[in-house]
Structure 1
Amino acid sequence: MAAAGAGGVYEALPPPCSFSPGRRELLAVSGLDGRIAVWDSRRGALLREYVPSAHLSATCTCLAWAPSRGGPESHQKKKRKSESVDKDPQYDLLTIGTATGTILLYSIAKGELQSKLQAGGHDNRVNCIRWHQDNGFLYSCSDDKHIVEWSTQTYKVKCKWKADNSGVSSLCVSPDGKMLLSAGRTIKLWDLESKTLSRQFTGHSTAVTSLMFIRPPGESQSSSDTTGLYFLSGAVHDRLISVWQVRTEKKERGAVLSFTLADFPVSVDLAPSDSKDEPLKLAVVCRDGQLHLFEHVLNGNHKKPLAPTCTVQIATSGSDEDSTPKPVPILSAGFCPDKESMFLYYGSSMQPLIEQVALKTDETHICLVRDVHKTVKLRKEEAVTRVKTPVVKPDTTVLVPGIPGHSSAVSITSRSQKDRKRKPGDKEASIEDRLGAMDIDLPKVPIKGGLPQTDSFAVLLVQGLESNDPNILNRVFQTKNESLIKKTVQRIPVYSVIPLVHELAKRLQGHPTSAMLMVRWLKAVLVNHASYLSTLPDLVPQLGSLYQMMETRVKNLQKMSRLNGKLYLLVTQVAASEIAQRSHTNQEAKLVYEEESSEDESGEEEQNSDSDDNWEEGEEEANEGAELGTSDSEEEMNVDKVNGDSDGESEDESDDD
């Protein structure tokens, strides 16, 4: 059974708790103050209570039971009646992980701390602890991105390696003890002998808090065949339990099956099947306090998420004044060895109520009515104090706190005045009149717009974050006015910035319309409180889940923008063609102009066309004409020359004469 602690991304989860394996006879519960209580599941009696020395500064973050010892030792001395403890003798050692990175080994039989694992280990919060069934090694993971292998014989670090770029939130050892699963936002399969990465699985956008191997039916625990080996995983703010198959032949990374939930899981337990035809049983407790039971036969891929076969809820019968039943949250659940009944842990960590219930899965919804107020009988101890309350006489002058020597005094009313009942006609003095009677100089601060309203968005937002009231938060987050969002974010105190970011990150994973509103709030937070966020030393793990979720959201943004551009071009072209068709509907000319010589021009065109057809003959005739012309001109020139010469000679002759 997996249970996660509180702190960081685990703020929404209850304190860690864990049933002992096997017969589920012990339940270890951690309180909000770090106290560890071990309860008897069958009798509901408190067996042990351990208070760590640094329980206020190093609260418990995870719990894990060590493997069974296989029965009591033969050479062990017989215990006295005062030392005997009614418990399961096979499970004695409880492992406690703390927020400072220290791992504690607590012995239930002795009621004391057996060992402390610290040197060379983690320097940040421990998120998960798992034991090896055979060699007795201990594996732990932390927010410091590392996995540590501890030797329980020497209580020292045997091996340490970096497993992820962000914090590692969960671990699980395979049934044959040769493989180790680790998960942050990515699930990785490691070979324990060589500490090398074998496979990697992706499918969760937030930190994985539940990891569990599912052994195939009909195979022994030490079998090394991983062909039919499955494992399941659940993450924070993820309402699905994914089932993966560890295959050596195919390299499929997607989940083969998923179980749908009403809220994200806080506790998971599994009852494996004994045969291939028998379905496995899965019990998941969600954050809303409901238990969901699933029954399914693992036989390959299943695309559609499976709904729970049965949902269990506990409610009160109602008091005398108010007859309305009120729900009682279930905090954890564990299957009994018969697989037909379960141990339910509900109530609170101060006084847990543990009950063994036989459930019938043929009913889709089961509501168990329990009178919690009569069952729980808290023992109220009177505080022992030596301080006595002073007796104030009527003539005593009491000075109000403030500057020493303050002259304003509070009048002490006599007992007769206190006991006197106010008549119907008397008016009760207001607070302003009472302050004026005390003669206290109040600073006059001009407030724009009158007195501050108690129902302002900044006040409501802080109240909703502190009380985790969804009604108040929904009222605030529904606004779409960016100016109002900006002013509200500016007025909230700095200690509410990180809870606001976590609430926005959780709501961003909801409906797309809600995500659009949350983006405006997130933008205002990052713009107005960037200086405060930059001073936080653990800013990366605080905003890691938000960054990872935003990265998965915008993963396909580039492809979608390209598709949007292509569709826009197509739509605009279709619209333009429709407009063009509408504008060219009337093709008839409104006015035609004809010239008078159109027939002559047509005749000339016909002649020109004829001449064009016989253009070769025309050119030949022109060439011949040109040759004849040149010859004729040459002959005329020769004749002229002859005549000229003769004329000149005759003229000369005449002159001589």
Structure 2
Amino acid sequence: MAAVAGDDGGAGAGAAGTPGSGGGCCVFSPPAPARCLATVAGDGRVRLWDTQAGGAGRLRHEYVPSSHLSATCSCLAWAPAQRQRPREVPQKKKRRSEKVDVDEELDLLAIGTAVGSILLYSIVKGELQRKLSDGHNGKVNCVRWHQENDCLYSCSDDKHIVEWSVPTGKVKCKWKAEKGSISHLCLSPDGKMLLSAGCGITLWNLETKEVYRKFTGHATAVSSLTFVTIRPPNDSQPSDGITGLYFLSGAVHDRLLNVWQVRSDKKDKNAVLSFILADEPVYVDLATSGDREDPVKLAVVCRDGQMHLFEQILNGYCKKPLMPTCTLQIATSGKGNDVRPVPILAATFCSDSRSVLVAYNTLLHPIIERVTLNTSEAHICLVRDTQMTVSISTETAVTKVKTPIVTAEVKVLVPGIPGHVASMKPRLMESRKTEAKRKGTEVESSIEERLSAMDIDALKVKHKGGFPQADSFAVLLVQGLESNDSSILNKVLQIKKDALIKTTIARLPVTAVVPLLHEITRRLQGHPYGALLMVRWLKAVFTQHASFLSTLPDLVPQLGVLYQLMESRVKTLQKLSRLHGKLYLLSAQVAASQRVQDASTVNQTAKLVYAEESSEDENSEDELMEDHESDENWEEEKEERADDPKMNIDKEVSEDSGEDLHTENESEEE
């Protein structure tokens, strides 16, 4: 029984995302057994790992696209081994061609990008061979090679399928296939038909570019397609290329792997068989002998990191979904009884179809192991020390590493919170350690030497404040949020300077933004004076980190309490404004009445009293008598004053003044 490569060398789902990859992808190279594993992690770098027994897990090539940050790699596809055979060369270069025969069989790797271009990477040359552009306007979701001619097919979010000419790098044909985006492609083994899938599945005739047949498909986007060819029982009968042709399909968020049969009568658009999984499939590989009587073996890697093995004869309908015959899982042991699962990234059958080549751990450093499956056991769990395996492979793979020379001018940055980077300079401690190593002795550093090694001056700034307060406040704020320490949070959140608040929020890492908003929401519900301070912090957070908050998919439930709190206070703003106006008016009236009362307590004693003439008539008879006596006394005093010469002089002076007054009055009358 030999492994069948399907349409792309047994990598039916190689372009799909893998568990724990952060949106990356991986695919084994054809044919069985695979010689290489291509991976793309979240950093955008394409890495090629050796899968052979002698150097399994060794990094062979690493390619960094020039636009890997802006145009991330979205899918991978190995070129078929048949078209990668070395060309005939002169006899004198035969030995040279034989040396590179193995490498030339694995030459081209197609890399789809998020901007619509396709990169063709040559493993032999270790460089980019060609770039295919001007074909798609959206992200390339899948790339497939033709088995015979030099053609490449790709699909994208722009609803189109493009047929490329690899030698020229030009578009041969382009047609619209779906109403929505196309997520996956698959070529038939004879190269005459093409499957395209969004949610529904369409079978195309490549010669006429017409629809041959449509299938029901899945409720969500299809993530994997793989053809299966079963040889008819009587080989003498003519075959039209459709008899015994099946294909498998898996979709996003779908735990069923469906099997569809391609018939010439174009009837029955539903699946004939289904395999039940623990999670959605991300990598599918199959092995079959081609005989209808022999079962088809499937190795399906799910998003939860488990691999399921199925064995089923495709000869009719089956209503109930089939359960896996064996499940493989990788785990690593920690301290005590702590056993943690290790995700399986991809799996492919070996040439004997009894063992499976499994890649697990992470896409940055996968571990490749050949596992012989025992189908008598329903569940197999392999315990592996991944850290030790990675460290051993790293030590053997990395060679010719130069140790950097550390001098007094070198500044070493230690890891920390973004915006708070401590710097250190090697000083006396490093020099003493180097001397001790030369002499073969160990010298323990004192506390004074350790403190002197810290570059405190580098943390200071030129202003009078010394250390940057905003930087230290940002660190304290993160520490308070992580430890939920109210004393630290009170110290930071009681800042009243707007400039310092703005700088602190700007230096705050994005991971602490949502916890800070939760803390602000809790404090807004407390004392009004505290709410007055929290509004300043809330304004600074929304001003500095609005772009980050807009990217959160669960922003509404995260900030639901804060939104309701602000909405309730905004609704009562108009009522509070009216109440404030009335209270201000009342307080002004109370203050005015208080001033009136204070004015009434002033001393009312008159300093001067003026009585009018009409008031004399109202006097009593006693007063008249007294006035009469006073008049008599006045006459006596007048006579006495006439005899006195001094009084006469005063009289003359008064008469003169009286004349003057009289003349003035006359002038005024005139």
| TM-score, scaled to structure 1 | 0.60
Q: Provide the C-alpha distance between the structure 2 equivalents of 1:59 and 1:99, rounded to a whole number of angstroms.
A: 6
5+ long unaligned stretches in structure 1:
412-427, 446-455, 464-490, 504-519, 529-657
1:263–1:286: 8 Å Cα contact kept in structure 2? yes
- Aligned residue number for residue 16 of structure 1: 25
The 1:432–1:201 alpha-carbon spacing in structure 2 relative to 1, beyond 3 Å, is closer
Q: What does 1:93-108 align with in structure 2 at a 5 Å threshold?
A: 93-108=108-123
Worse-matched range after superposition: 149-158 or 40-49:
40-49
Q: Provide the C-alpha distance between the structure 2 equivalents of 1:6 and 1:461, rounded to a whole number of angstroms.
A: 36
Q: 2:42 aligns with which of 32, 52, 56?
A: 32
Structure 1 position 59 matched with structure 2 position 69: no
| TM-score, scaled to structure 2 | 0.59
The 1:4–1:169 alpha-carbon spacing in structure 2 relative to 1, beyond 3 Å, is farther
Q: Provide the C-alpha distance between the structure 2 equivalents of 1:374 and 1:396, rounded to a whole number of angstroms.
A: 38
Q: Provide the C-alpha distance between the structure 2 equivalents of 1:181 and 1:85, rounded to a whole number of angstroms.
A: 35
Q: 2:279 aligns with which of 255, 263, 284?
A: 263
Q: Provide the C-alpha distance between the structure 2 equivalents of 1:153 and 1:35, rounded to a whole number of angstroms.
A: 25
The 1:51–1:395 alpha-carbon spacing in structure 2 relative to 1, beyond 3 Å, is closer
Look up the SS of the partner of 2:298 in the other structure: strand
Q: Provide the C-alpha distance between the structure 2 equivalents of 1:302 and 1:462, rounded to a whole number of angstroms.
A: 53
Q: 1:285 aligns with which of 294, 298, 301?
A: 301
Q: Residue type matched to 1:281 in 2?
A: K
Instruction: Please give the root-mean-square deviation of Cα atoms over the aligned residues, in Å.
Output: 4.4
Structure 1 position 230 matched with structure 2 position 229: no
The 1:267–1:152 alpha-carbon spacing in structure 2 relative to 1, beyond 3 Å, is same
Structure 1 position 114 matched with structure 2 position 129: yes
The 1:4–1:166 alpha-carbon spacing in structure 2 relative to 1, beyond 3 Å, is farther
Q: Residue type matched to 1:226 in 2?
A: I
The 1:333–1:406 alpha-carbon spacing in structure 2 relative to 1, beyond 3 Å, is same
Structure 1 position 365 matched with structure 2 position 379: yes
Q: Provide the C-alpha distance between the structure 2 equivalents of 1:298 and 1:429, rounded to a whole number of angstroms.
A: 66
Q: What does 1:328-477 align with in structure 2 at a 5 Å threshold?
A: 328-377=342-391, 378=394, 387-388=410-411, 389=424, 405-407=463-465, 431=488, 459=515
- Aligned residue number for residue 188 of structure 2: 174
Look up the SS of the partner of 2:43 in the other structure: coil
| Deviation string, structure 1 residues 377-397 (Cα, Å, up to 9, x no partner) | 146987778633468989988
Q: Residue type matched to 1:54 in 2?
A: S
| Deviation string, structure 1 residues 333-370 (Cα, Å, up to 9, x no partner) | 00112111111001112221111111112211011111
Q: Residue type matched to 2:297 in 1?
A: K
- Aligned residue number for residue 474 of structure 2: none
Q: Provide the C-alpha distance between the structure 2 equivalents of 1:341 and 1:225, rounded to a whole number of angstroms.
A: 30
Q: 2:141 aligns with which of 106, 121, 127?
A: 127
Look up the SS of the partner of 1:375 in the other structure: helix
| Deviation string, structure 1 residues 189-221 (Cα, Å, up to 9, x no partner) | 11111111121112312111101111113599x
Deviation at 1:398, TM superposition (A): 8.9
Q: Provide the C-alpha distance between the structure 2 equivalents of 1:358 and 1:395, rounded to a whole number of angstroms.
A: 57
The 1:150–1:396 alpha-carbon spacing in structure 2 relative to 1, beyond 3 Å, is closer
- Aligned residue number for residue 214 of structure 1: 228
Q: What does 1:588-627 align with in structure 2 at a 5 Å threshold?
A: none
Q: Provide the C-alpha distance between the structure 1 equivalents of 2:102 and 2:70, rounded to a whole number of angstroms.
A: 31
Deviation at 1:135, TM superposition (A): 1.6
Q: Provide the C-alpha distance between the structure 2 equivalents of 1:430 and 1:196, rounded to a whole number of angstroms.
A: 72
- Aligned residue number for residue 290 of structure 2: 274
The 1:155–1:82 alpha-carbon spacing in structure 2 relative to 1, beyond 3 Å, is closer
- Aligned residue number for residue 611 of structure 1: none
Deviation at 1:496, TM superposition (A): 5.7
- Aligned residue number for residue 106 of structure 2: 91
1:93–1:105: 8 Å Cα contact kept in structure 2? yes
Q: Provide the C-alpha distance between the structure 1 equivalents of 2:181 and 2:226, rounded to a whole number of angstroms.
A: 19
| Deviation string, structure 1 residues 637-656 (Cα, Å, up to 9, x no partner) | xxxxxxxxxxxxxxxxxxxx
Q: Residue type matched to 1:32 in 2?
A: G
- Aligned residue number for residue 268 of structure 2: 252
Q: Residue type matched to 1:353 in 2?
A: I
- Aligned residue number for residue 553 of structure 2: 500
Q: Residue type matched to 1:53 in 2?
A: S
The 1:432–1:497 alpha-carbon spacing in structure 2 relative to 1, beyond 3 Å, is closer
- Aligned residue number for residue 433 of structure 2: none
Worse-matched range after superposition: 83-92 or 327-336:
83-92
Q: Provide the C-alpha distance between the structure 2 equivalents of 1:462 and 1:121, rounded to a whole number of angstroms.
A: 47
The 1:315–1:248 alpha-carbon spacing in structure 2 relative to 1, beyond 3 Å, is same
Q: Provide the C-alpha distance between the structure 2 equivalents of 1:314 and 1:175, rounded to a whole number of angstroms.
A: 33
Q: Provide the C-alpha distance between the structure 1 equivalents of 2:140 and 2:552, rounded to a whole number of angstroms.
A: 22
Q: Provide the C-alpha distance between the structure 2 equivalents of 1:395 and 1:231, rounded to a whole number of angstroms.
A: 66
Count of equivalent residues: 450
Could you say which structure has the higher helix fraction? 2
| Deviation string, structure 1 residues 199-256 (Cα, Å, up to 9, x no partner) | 1112312111101111113599x95331331111011111111111111214211111
Q: Provide the C-alpha distance between the structure 1 equivalents of 2:71 and 2:304, rounded to a whole number of angstroms.
A: 27
Sequence identity (%): 52
Deviation at 1:136, TM superposition (A): 2.0
Deviation at 1:272, TM superposition (A): 2.1
Q: Residue type matched to 1:325 in 2?
A: V
Q: Residue type matched to 2:75 in 1?
A: C
Structure with larger Rg:
2
| Deviation string, structure 1 residues 437-481 (Cα, Å, up to 9, x no partner) | xx9755699xxxxxxxxxx99749999xxxxxxxxxxxxxxxxxx
Deviation at 1:3, TM superposition (A): 3.5
- Aligned residue number for residue 451 of structure 1: none
1:309–1:361: 8 Å Cα contact kept in structure 2? yes
Worse-matched range after superposition: 349-358 or 72-81:
72-81
Q: Provide the C-alpha distance between the structure 1 equivalents of 2:321 and 2:353, rounded to a whole number of angstroms.
A: 24
Deviation at 1:408, TM superposition (A): 6.6
Look up the SS of the partner of 1:56 in the other structure: coil
The 1:440–1:82 alpha-carbon spacing in structure 2 relative to 1, beyond 3 Å, is farther
Q: Provide the C-alpha distance between the structure 1 equivalents of 2:37 and 2:457, rounded to a whole number of angstroms.
A: 58
| Deviation string, structure 1 residues 63-108 (Cα, Å, up to 9, x no partner) | 1111223643341675999996694542211111111111111111
The 1:323–1:497 alpha-carbon spacing in structure 2 relative to 1, beyond 3 Å, is same
